[in-house]
Structure 1
Amino acid sequence: MLSRLSIRNIVLIEALDLDFAGGLGVLTGETGAGKSILLDALGLVLGNRADSGLVRAGADRASVTASFDFATLPEPLRTIIADAELEVEPGEPLILKRQLRADGGSKAFLNDQPVGVALLRELAPALVEIHGQHDDRGLVNPRGHRLLLDRFAGGDVARVAAAWSTWRNAREALDTARAQVARAAEDQDLLLAHLAELTVLAPETGEEDTLAQARAQMQKGEKLADDLAALQRLWTGSDSALANLRGASRRLDRIAGEHPLLAEALAALDRAVIEAGEAEEALERAAEALAFEPDELDRIETRLFDLRAAARKQSCQVDDLPEKMREMREALEAIEGGTEHLAELEAAANKAALAYRESAEALHEARRAAAQRLDTAVKAELGPLKLDSARFRTAVTRLPEERWGAHGLDSVEFLISTNPGADFAPLAKIASGGELSRFILALKVALAEEGGAATVIFDEIDRGVGGAVASAIGERLARLASAGQLLAVTHSPQVAARGDRHYMIAKSSEGTVTRTSVHLLSAADRKEEIARMLSGAEVTAEARAQADRLLERA
């Protein structure tokens, strides 16, 4: 609920801090005292459009801060705050702040964390519900009527939503499978031809690299063939360099013992023979490695060409060809087994459709029964509110199948007829300002709405009525407020007397400066204010006595 409202430099309000509590709080004051300023300030902090005209004359900026206390933060608020990745500690008040500059710029904060104004607007419906003379939201807006009736009916909306989700998913799976089978069937002949080609080709993953490396080696051998042959001739035969080295080594070996230097020469020559022998072996191995057969090279190049041509045809890499073959086989299998699979999916979709229709039909019947009870309950409230000639009807209309959804089969709208014989029409199109407010009050009482906004505000709901009607309005406001927090801006002493807390709005002038102030009244001041409301400018003893009687009856 709203626990505190702090206003700085908004129109005629220079500085104001108001504390609120649960139950019914009433706000009174003379016409023009500035009651609308409070609502404008509250609207600003709840995300209404920033209007530089709200900034007090002579000030460069204005601000409004609203604090809301909750035993446990309601689910809608928790979800919105979590989605915005903001932090609100358990048990901590929710503090909204809006700063407005004289040039029209504004900033918004949630518990000192900067936020967008759109977030304030998203939070607002769960925080404050305002009903006034020109209300076009809340109970007047038909978009919310179905939800209100469902709360009143206690219907299993969650079951219908779950059944709808299951049916929708089953239909999507069936449609997807049908499309896949249809596409595959159109391409069946082409798939068979492509798969036959690839089956004959029998590509293997990694084959391209292996063939490319083998071809590169053979091409090197072809290039180096003449040089290798010439080198081999140098190392072979009786007159080769290696044969001469070995002959020299044998001859030197016979005389090496004659002198140390000859021994050194022999050792060096032996090393040369060994190194030359290793070189000969390496040349032989290289010749073998680089050896190529023109027919094998041609085979490898032909294979590479065929693989790469197939890859281009399938718009993939050579290594992806085996996977392409697998996909083709699966597509062909889907065609062959498609009828059976589609039959299974169709059976699942039909079963889900039946489950949805059963749950939605049950909700439809619950809505129709609840609509009759709601119509009766609202009718009982209309007479005491001086709406004797009016009629109320909850229209539950079955929608065409293409408009069914998680909400069920129906549209719901609250309709009224204000005169005997007149047709029923939407609330906002028929009722005048005062009638509309009283219709809303009757609805609120009849619905005993749960899960609505934390704070409900009625702005001059009693305009144009008095006496027994005003008393009936006050009694119903008090009844609504017993389960939460309700604030009422009122001109009616009968309504004001019902309040648990009474705030007086006053305007004062000092020279050219005009200010609006709001004060929580004591018991004595409250009696005096109600007496003023009864008698006018001059408070009489009779008015005070009547105020006493009103307060006693409340």
Structure 2
Amino acid sequence: MLASLAIRDVVLIERLDLAFGPGLTVLTGETGAGKSILLDSLGLACGARAEAGMVRAGQAQCSVSAEFAPPPNHPVFAILAEQAMEPEETLVLRRVVQADGRSRAFVNGQPVAAGVLRRLAAALVEVQGQHDQVGLADPATHGGLLDAFGGLDAQRQGVAALHRAWREAERSLAAAREAIAAAQRDEEFLRHAVEELSDLAPEDGEEEQLSAERQKLQQGERRSESIAAALAELQPRDRRRGGPAEALRNAARSLERLPAPNEEAQPILGLLATAQDAVAEAETLLERLLQEGAPDPRRLEQLEDRLFGLRAAARKHAVAVVELPALLVSLKERLGALDAGTGRVAALEEAAAAARRDYLAAAEALSTARRAAAAKLEAALGKELPPLKLDRAKVFVEVAPREESAWGADGMDRVTFLVATNPGQAPGHLQKIASGGELSRLMLALKVVLARGSPVPTLIFDEVDAGIGGATAAAVGERLARVAERLQVLVVTHSPQVAARGAQQLRVAKQVKGERAATVVEPLGKTERREEIARMLAGERVTDAARAAADSLLTGGLL
């Protein structure tokens, strides 16, 4: 419900803080006192269009804060979740308007778009005025209200679940058909790619393994080149340029030709012989190393070819080499889907058809129940209209089939509340057929009957009693009080019969100080209520008879 309203510098209101309780709250006051400003202020907090003219003269900005206390599990919490906002016990909608017309919106202190305010407010408060009715005047709400009146919510939820299942089956079927169509378009490519990749047979981790082995072989090749180069120094291919062994032998021969005795050459000859043996042994070891560590040139070539083939395939399919095995599996699956697609589509077609039949059966049962509930609702409304001076009017609850393209989670019906205000008149939409006063009372009658199923906890009626008096005004007041047993109701009224029904009464007045006027609102106690209702009965001069009549109204008596 609406817990409080704080208004700052809006038109004639300088500063106003109001608290509201449950049940029926009536706002009274003389014409022009500013009651409409209160509703406009609330509308501003609820996301209505902001205008620079709402800012009080001489002020830089105005602001309005409306605090609501929604019941548990109210739809408003789902909207907050959509906005990633944490739920709190109370919900404060706030609007600030600058003097140039620019505005800012807040929810529990967090800045939001004005559209968010409107969505939240639509779930929290409904205004019924003579000229700008919302809520019941919107045909989109009629189906839910009829279902709530008829106790059909569980059936409606079942239809919604079957509708989701049907749509999901249709989506699966459409996806399968599209997959087959895509596979058929790419069949030649798929078969070629699968054949090519199957021949290549890429394996998981193969590139890394081949690269490591290639690197090892390349390192072995460089090792062999180094050993061969060393061996070439000991065994030069150019025989004319002898190697170390030849040089050692030539040196020994030269020393051996020294004239005898040549004792001083003997140690040198010994060293040369040792060197020849060392060089011979080095040659032997190098030849052995060269033979043992020589890489297989064919294996290195094979590795190079394999890596080239894998990387070429990866470039062709625009994937990494490591993804080739998964790609082959995917392409095979697409081919398999193509080969087995006809059977799968047939199964999905049957599943979709079965889901459609289930939805149809449940939706048709809901339609039957709605037509029965519509008849009961028409009868209930027929009893409410005569006391409201609408005895010539008749409300029709039309349950009409929709085109299949418009079937939805709420079923196959278009539910519309229609009215004929005079006999022989063709029924039409509420806001198009009834006059302002008639429409307000029609809305009241609907609310009386539909209050049990209303998802909106706060209702506001703006001069629902305009143009009526006496017994009709009393009937309006009685029905407002009846609705207020289930919902919070605020009503702007000039009728004493309606005002006397309020659990709380607020008097709106205009005060003039110097050259400035200001609107003030004050809660009325028992004595003040008696005087205000007496004023409403008698006019400017309150008489004892008017006070007695006010007492009679306040105690439940009839005038």
- TM range, smaller chain: 0.7 to 0.9
In structure 2, the partner of 1:109 is: 106
Query: Which residue pairs with 1:144 in the alignment?
Result: 141
Taking a change above 3 Å as real, the CA distance of residues 242 and 544 of structure 1, as seen in their structure-2 partners, is: farther
Alignment of 1:150-549 (within 5 A): 150-155=147-152, 156-208=155-207, 229-235=228-234, 241=244, 281=286, 284-285=289-290, 288-289=293-294, 292=297, 302-549=305-552
Cα distance, 1:201 vs structure 2:
3.5
> Does the 8 Å CA contact 2:451/2:487 hold for their aligned counterparts?
no
Q: Deviations over 1:159-218 (max 9, x none)?
A: 111111111111111111122123323443443333333333334445556666777787
1:95 and 2:92 correspond:
yes
Change (3 A) 1:340 1:62: same
Distance in 2 (alpha carbons) for counterparts of 1:244 and 1:210: 48
Shift of residue 37, structure 1, vs aligned partner = 0.8
SS in 2 for 1:138: coil
1:225, distance to aligned residue in structure 2 (A): 8.2
Indicate conservation of the 8 Å contact 1:66/1:95, yes or no. yes
Q: CA RMSD in A?
A: 3.5
Alignment partner, residue 251 of structure 1: none
User: Is residue 107–residue 114 contact of structure 1 (8 Å, CA) maintained in 2?
Assistant: yes
2:51 partner letter: D
For residues 415-442 of structure 1, give each alpha carbon's deviation from its aligned partner in whole angstroms, at most 9, with x where no partner exists: 1111211111111111111011011001
**Whole-Å Cα distance in 1 between the matches of residues 287 and 438 of structure 2?**
110
Shift of 1:308: 4.4
Structure 1: how far apart are the matches of 2:473 and 2:184? 76
- Structure 2 distance, partners of 1:282, 1:350, is 82
Q: Quote the residue 1:120 is aligned against.
A: 117
Q: Give the unaligned 5+ runs of structure 1.
A: 249-261
Amino acid at match of 1:16: L
How far apart in 1 are the matches of 2:400 and 2:470? 39
CA distance in structure 2 between the aligned counterparts of 1:19 and 1:354, rounded to whole angstroms:
53
C-alpha separation in 2, matches of 1:176 and 1:242: 83
Secondary structure in 2 matching 1:139: coil
Contact map agreement 1:220 1:290 (CA 8 A) in 2 = no
Partner of residue 67, structure 2: 67
Residue 405 of structure 1, CA deviation: 1.2
Q: Which runs of 5+ in 2 are unaligned?
A: 237-241, 252-266
Following superposition, the deviation at residue 444 of structure 1 comes to: 0.4
- The change in CA–CA distance for 1:495 and 1:128 in structure 2 (over 3 A counts) is same
Mean Cα deviation higher: 438-447 or 451-460: 451-460
The residue aligned with 1:255 is none
Q: Aligned partners of 1:300 and 1:485: how far apart in 2?
A: 84
Write the deviation string for residues 212-236 of structure 1: whole angstroms up to 9, x where unpaired: 6777787888899887544213345
- Alpha-carbon distance between aligned partners in 2 of 1:219 and 1:88, rounded to the nearest angstrom: 68
Q: State the shift of 1:499 in Å.
A: 1.3
TM-score by length of 1: 0.86
Find the aligned partners of 2:117 and 2:523 in 1 and give their Cα distance.
28
Residues 231 and 287, structure 2, Cα contact 8 Å, conserved in 1? no
Q: 2: CA distance between counterparts of 1:11 and 1:213? A: 83
SS in 1 for 2:96: strand
For residues 366 and 278 of structure 1, the distance between their equivalents in structure 2, rounded to whole angstroms, comes to 107
| Cα distance in structure 2, aligned partners of 1:245 and 1:422 | 136
Tell me, in whole angstroms, the C-alpha distance in 2 between the residues paired with 1:278 and 1:86: 85
Quote the offset at 1:289 in angstroms.
4.2
8 Å contact from structure 2 (residues 10, 55) kept in 1: yes
Distance (Å, rounded) in 2 between the aligned partners of 1:485 and 1:515: 28
Taking a change above 3 Å as real, the CA distance of residues 218 and 122 of structure 1, as seen in their structure-2 partners, is same
Change (3 A) 1:534 1:243: farther
- Percent of aligned positions with the same letter in both sequences? 48
